[in-house]
Amino acid sequence: MAKQRVQFECGNCGHTSAKWLGVCPACNEWNTYSEIIEKPKSSKKHKVDVSVSDHVEAIRLVDVSHQNSERFSSNLNEFDRVLGGGFVNGSLSLLGGDPGIGKSTLMLQVAHHCPEMKILYVAGEESASQIKQRGGRIGLKGENLYISSNTDIQSVISQARKFKPDLLVIDSIQTVFSDELSSLPGSVQQIRECSAMLQQIAKKENITTLMIGHVTKDGDIAGPRILEHMVDTVLHFEGDKNHFYRLLRCVKNRFGPAQEVGVFEMKENGLQEVLNPSALFLSEAEHAVSGNSVTCIMEGTRPILVEVQALVSPSSYSTPQRTASGFDQRRLSLLIAVLEKRASMSLAGQDVYLNIAGGLKISDPAADLAVISALASSLTDKIVNSDTVFIGEVGLGGEVRKVSFMQQRMREAEKMGVKMATGPKNTAAEDLNIQLRPAAFISDLF
Ligand code: TYD
Ligand code: MG
């Protein structure tokens, strides 16, 4: 009889090793290894039987039948936009996000907005009565929503086969389990096995499936990385605990553009779509103060106006503070160095605080120019016109560089009532009612 083999597996990435390790060599996480017992495989399986011909034949691409109308809408514009125009029939999606961000609420709202869609909701985290209570808040009647609290993957699958729902929701993949495995629900092995089975049912039975997944403290989806390879679409639901807006971001999409975002706001009666996000992120300050400047960033294909706020004040410590929230700290240090060297402004002995209004996290280099002008404005205590937008990447030489989607950004700025724009040389604002003030170098700003 084959011997059972003991192995150790990383709970974060699924890397295996013959002995226990304190730190995983694949993902560098500490203390994630746990013991797993591999079932002995039958030796027959391993031999490739060349005598039996395979029943599945390869087919030519031209002969593959395909209908274009294989999508159906969730009736939530922002959600459809992120999916690339609605759910694709028979697709497998993964929705990740911090606890309490609103993943379950979002799925209940899909049920609310699509009364004609038959939805099977596998609730591993809440009881049916808790879901009903929550549904009451968003006005969900739920005639089309079937709740199942059985999280054994075998019965989930047989139920889905029998029931043939238009949408199968697994809330969450960390709570479903297969009793053929000895490990606990939520372990790497269980997640891998269960999602592989869900993939099978999605593809073979054409049941559109959405799995909800937890995220780790670093913001990755908990469980093995292969989970993200296995699914067709990976969505991240993110936002700030202290703010009410929520961003639904697509990080992988086999059927549409990736990096698309949808914006929602969490209200007492559920998530509301935000059709004009720029209004959400511009600060409500009535009086202009020094240190504020406006930029336009791109989130996917979507321009959003945001306000950058800087505060530069004399430091009472020998090492001045540099703090950024919503912006990369190292990028801030770099821009401070560029400002000192190329525009002869000294920030030595000054504490620098940078904040993106509304709690948004931005990584678009087009915001550099606004950061530079906010810093300079706060340092010199001169107010930047609030109807001016600053768009441009700043290079180490102090030059203002071109950024992509300039026309879309300008159009959004015009829509929001901006009168003036500062950007790189040769910026054109064809048929827009915006006055241009090009800047080749950051020194041209002052
Ligand atoms: P939930 O969907 O349970 O989050 P997840 O499934 O991602 O863990 O979100 C619950 C949070 O949303 C909770 O903190 C309460 C809040 N909420 C509202 O503010 N308004 C509402 O109408 C609903 C239903 C929830
Ligand atoms: Mg939930």
What is the secondary structure of 270-305 as a DSSP string?
EEEE-S-HHHHHS---SS--TTEEEEEEEETTEEEE
Instruction: Give residue 177's pLDDT.
Output: 92
Residue closest via CA to ligand 1's atom 21 equals 270
- CA 358 to mean position of chain CA atoms: 17
Is the C-beta atom of 99 inside 6 A of ligand 1? yes
Q: Which two tokens stand for residue 313?
A: 């004040």
More confident residue, 218 or 248: 248
Which superfamily is assigned to 71-275 in CATH? P-loop containing nucleotide triphosphate hydrolases (3.40.50.300)
* HSE-CB for 136 with a 13 A CA cutoff: 6
Ligand 2 centre to CA of 226 (Å) is 22
Is the C-beta atom of 137 inside 6 A of ligand 1? yes
Q: How confident is the model at residue 391 (pLDDT cuts 50, 70, 90)?
A: very high
**Sign (positive or negative) of CA dihedral 85, 89, 93, 95:** positive
Highest mean pLDDT among 212-221, 296-305, 347-356, 407-416: 347-356
Buried residues in 130-158 as b, exposed as e (16+ CB within 10 A) = ebeeebeebebebebbbbbeebebeebbe
| Contact criterion met (CB below 8 Å) for 435 and 419 | yes
Instruction: Give residue 320's pLDDT.
Output: 92
Residue 367 has pLDDT above 70, yes or no: yes
Instruction: Give residue 27's pLDDT.
Output: 81
Query: Strand pairing partners for 273?
Result: 264
Q: Which two tokens stand for residue 307?
A: 């306000």
Instruction: Give residue 161's pLDDT.
Output: 93
Residue 355 has pLDDT above 80, yes or no: yes
Is the C-beta atom of 135 inside 6 A of ligand 1? no
Instruction: Give residue 256's pLDDT.
Output: 83
How far apart (Å, rounded) are the C-alpha atoms in residues 113 and 178? Answer: 32
Domains 71-275 and 279-445 belong to one CATH topology? no
What share of the chain has pLDDT > 90, as a percent? Answer: 51
Instruction: Give residue 372's pLDDT.
Output: 95
For residue range 119-141, what is the model confidence (pLDDT) as tens digits? 999 999 999 999 999 999 999 88
Q: What is the mean pLDDT of the chain?
A: 87
Q: How confident is the model at residue 6 (pLDDT cuts 50, 70, 90)?
A: confident
By C-alpha distance, which of 210, 208, 263, 216 is closest to 239?
263
Residue 333 has pLDDT above 90, yes or no: yes
Ligand 2 centre to CA of 101 (Å) is 8
Alpha helix positions (H), 173-256: 188-205, 226-230
Ligand 1 centre to CA of 12 (Å) is 26
Instruction: Give residue 279's pLDDT.
Output: 82
Instruction: Give residue 59's pLDDT.
Output: 86
Instruction: Give residue 40's pLDDT.
Output: 61
Residue 54 has pLDDT above 70, yes or no: no
Q: How confident is the model at residue 284 (pLDDT cuts 50, 70, 90)?
A: low
Parallel/antiparallel/unpaired status of strands 350-356 and 302-314: antiparallel
Span 384-400, average pLDDT: 93
Span 74-96, average pLDDT: 91
Chain position carrying tokens 């759910």 = 87
Residue 69 has pLDDT above 80, yes or no: no
Is the C-beta atom of 101 inside 6 A of ligand 1? yes
By C-alpha distance, which of 157, 251, 245 is closest to 213?
251
Residue 394 has pLDDT above 90, yes or no: yes
Ligand 1 centre to CA of 173 (Å) is 18
Span 210-235, average pLDDT: 81
Phi then psi for residue 30, to 5 deg, are -95, 145
| Contact criterion met (CB below 8 Å) for 304 and 366 | no
- Which region among 13-22, 115-124, 319-328 has the lowest average model confidence (pLDDT)? 13-22
Ligand 1 mutation target, pool 104, 105, 212, most atoms within 8 A of CB: 105
Residue 53 has pLDDT above 70, yes or no: no
What share of the chain has pLDDT > 70, as a percent? Answer: 91
Residue 396 has pLDDT above 70, yes or no: yes
* pTM attached to this predicted model: 0.81
Q: How confident is the model at residue 62 (pLDDT cuts 50, 70, 90)?
A: confident
The burial class, CB within 10 Å (0-12 / 13-18 / 19+), for 10 is buried
Instruction: Give residue 241's pLDDT.
Output: 74
By C-alpha distance, which of 172, 16, 207 is closest to 95?
172
Instruction: Give residue 352's pLDDT.
Output: 96
Ligand 2 centre to CA of 236 (Å) is 14
Q: How far from 145 is each of 74, 88, 128, 202, 207, CA to CA, in Å? A: 14, 20, 11, 19, 15
Instruction: Give residue 255's pLDDT.
Output: 87
Domain 279-445 has CATH 1.10.760.10: no
Ligand 2 centre to CA of 174 (Å) is 11
**Considering every ligand atom, which ligand is closest to the CA of 107?**
1
Residue 217 has pLDDT above 90, yes or no: no
Phi then psi for residue 146, to 5 deg, are -110, 120
**Considering every ligand atom, which ligand is closest to the CA of 95?**
1
- Which region among 9-23, 29-43, 113-127, 238-252 has the lowest average model confidence (pLDDT)? 29-43
| Contact criterion met (CB below 8 Å) for 81 and 42 | no
The DSSP element (H or E) to which 183 belongs, if any, is none
Domain locations in the chain as residue ranges: 5-38, 71-275, 279-445
DSSP string, 326-343: SS-HHHHHHHHHHHHHHS
Is the C-beta atom of 133 inside 6 A of ligand 1? no
Is the C-beta atom of 102 inside 6 A of ligand 1? yes
Residue 46 has pLDDT above 80, yes or no: no
